[in-house]
Structure 1
Amino acid sequence: MPQFFVLLAAMLWGTIAIFVKQLTQFGFTEMEIVTIRVLFAFIWLIPVILLQQKAVSLKIDIRHLWYFVGTGLCSIVFFNWAYFKAINIMSISIAVMLLYTAPAFVAILSVIILKESMSKKKIAAIAVTITGCAIIALTGSGAQGEWSIVGFMIGLCSGLGYALYTIFGKLALRDYDSLIITFYTFLTATICLIAFFPFWKKAVALPLEAWLYMGGLGLLPTVLAYLLYTNGLKKIDSSIASIFATVEPVAAVFIGISLYQEKLFTGQVIGAMLILSSILIISEKKKNRSILE
């Protein structure tokens, strides 16, 4: 059952592209979709906090606000924007593979910021990731609109932003529970975005279907996926869970091919396999996955 929870969480994360594509068709920009995701996720998190009797732990030290600026703005807002933008510029398949460069970025940033050692496995994982990205870049030049230099760079930014959550989250875990960190992460992101991206001005004129997609984005591939993953993580080793979680890019690629008729080139498949293999290399000693995608 724990393995099933992790697999289901990964599959839910893989469906993000569906929500992004549909909300884009309804006329929302990438930053408006990011705002929608963080706001609805925050709303869904309120009953979760109350049901798990975590309300008494909501008090935080004002000196620790920078934790949540880091997780909320530097990571959640930045990586979601970059990922959503990459999905709309290129294929879903390439976008999700570039997102999964995050472990390599974590390996580099953990040495610089957290002063962790640079092991041979980290070096190998970084080298394999770079090779995979290079192959995708070289192959992608003939992808007829499904690849661009700008999209490729933005896709890499999504991996960097995702990695920053692990870095800031690891610092915050010294003082707070993971659910509380997630709660304040989305609260911070919501407060910072909602005044600048008033998506509801467009949403009021849209049909119920649009609202279902908005609420669904905050619930299914966000809060529900987080709850399933963390519950599964209680019963199995985190390194094994991180391997199961690689179902996410597989699910995203399947969605891209089956629903949006995307094509994968041989070089892109090879590059994707190298990027995923780097996760397997680095996950053997991995203690924590990013708290929430």
Structure 2
Amino acid sequence: MKKKLAVVFVLLAGTLWGCIGIFVRRYNAMGLSSMQTVAIRMVIAAVLFALFVLIYKRSLFKIHLKDIWIFLGSGVISVGLFTYCYFSSIELSSLSVAAVLLYTAPAFVMLFSLIFFKEKMTVMKGISLILAVLGCAMTTGVIGGNLTVTLAGFLFGLGSGICYALYSIFSRFALDRGYEPFTITLYTFLFSAVFCLCVTDIRPVAGVVFADFGSVGYAVLFALVSCVLPYVFYTLGLKYIKSSTASIIATVEPVMATVVGAVVFAEPLAVPFGYLGVGLVFLSVVLINIRFKAKTKS
């Protein structure tokens, strides 16, 4: 039952992450850079989550100094640099292309998991990974479409995939040391927010966020939908399923990003490859869950 719930959590996380483009495009249109948009997301998310933990359970603030490198890694690399690369990729290409480059991540997660945690590369994982990547490529128009990608857009997209993959790895290190998912999320946000404040000119950001009450509300919604809720869901999922498996299930994100691009920004969905790709992504999730059930029964 816990594994089934974990799958739902990861699916919810991927769905919410797939909506990021709506917010990013708006802030880009208002003249903010990718890093300034990252700062809005991470600083507000850190404040909101710290207040939540303060009220909910203060003991979750406790960490060991020797483990601080884990949270520095998850905060600066896996969230700060990841978000910068992903937002830059969105700015330089379509939402769908940025999303499919991001989802080179499952391959990197599997590689890192083999190296650091000795996770086995099963046949079912391999098939699910191939279907997920193929489905993403079809959904986004990389296969069967006429989309082009600049070198900068490609490199930022690939960088987002590597950084995103490392979140699963850093989180697994923290979970194996006995830290609660909320503690991992809290310090990931805090270190990411500090990093953003150190490298960003915050004055234009403050002007946009605090322009009026509606702007403040939109910024809070941005932090909740694109950061707080999905990272909480994903980290909770990692507590009960392997990093490599979670990364495959989360490939629902590029599907959602493509749907958002088509519905909100009128970015075309390739026919029939786009719809076939959506089906392949969901098939990969089904197959990985069939594997769960088989292992549970055995």
- TM-score exceeds 0.5: yes
In structure 1, distance between residues paired with 2:168 and 2:90: 22
Structure 1 residue 159: deviation in Å?
2.1
8 Å Cα contact 1:23/1:210 also seen in 2: no
2:68 aligned to 34, 59, 65, which one?
65
In structure 2, distance between residues paired with 1:71 and 1:105: 15
| 1:200–1:276 Cα change, 3 Å | farther
In structure 1, distance between residues paired with 2:151 and 2:278: 17
Structure 1 residue 100: deviation in Å?
3.0
Structure 1 residue 25: deviation in Å?
1.2
Query: What residue identity is the alignment partner of 2:220?
Result: G
Matched, 1:33 2:41: no
Query: What residue identity is the alignment partner of 2:122?
Result: S
In structure 1, distance between residues paired with 2:157 and 2:286: 21
8 Å Cα contact 1:99/1:158 also seen in 2: yes
In structure 2, distance between residues paired with 1:73 and 1:155: 17
The CA RMSD over aligned residues, in Å, is 3.5
Query: What residue identity is the alignment partner of 2:228?
Result: V
Structure 1 residue 166: deviation in Å?
0.4
In structure 2, distance between residues paired with 1:216 and 1:52: 21
Query: What residue identity is the alignment partner of 1:51?
Result: I
Q: 3-state DSSP class of the match of 1:86?
A: helix
Structure 1 residue 4: deviation in Å?
8.2
In structure 1, distance between residues paired with 2:248 and 2:120: 23
Matched, 1:224 2:229: yes
In structure 2, distance between residues paired with 1:280 and 1:243: 10
In structure 2, distance between residues paired with 1:278 and 1:244: 8
Moved more, 80-89 or 120-129: 120-129
Deviation digits for residues 176-210 of structure 1, max 9, x if unmatched? 11110111111111122202203234432663244
TM-score (norm 1): 0.78
Structure 1 residue 111: deviation in Å?
0.8
Equivalent in the alignment of 2:256: 251
Moved more, 275-284 or 197-206: 275-284
Equivalent in the alignment of 2:50: 46
Matched, 1:183 2:186: yes
Equivalent in the alignment of 1:290: none
Unmatched segments (≥5 aa) in structure 1: 287-293
2:175 aligned to 153, 168, 173, which one?
173
Structure 1 residue 284: deviation in Å?
5.1
Deviation digits for residues 212-269 of structure 1, max 9, x if unmatched? 33222212222234456678x69xx859998886554343222211211101224862
Matched, 1:123 2:87: no
Equivalent in the alignment of 2:296: none
Moved more, 174-183 or 3-12: 3-12
Q: 3-state DSSP class of the match of 2:176?
A: coil
Identity of aligned residues (%): 35
In structure 2, distance between residues paired with 1:92 and 1:16: 9
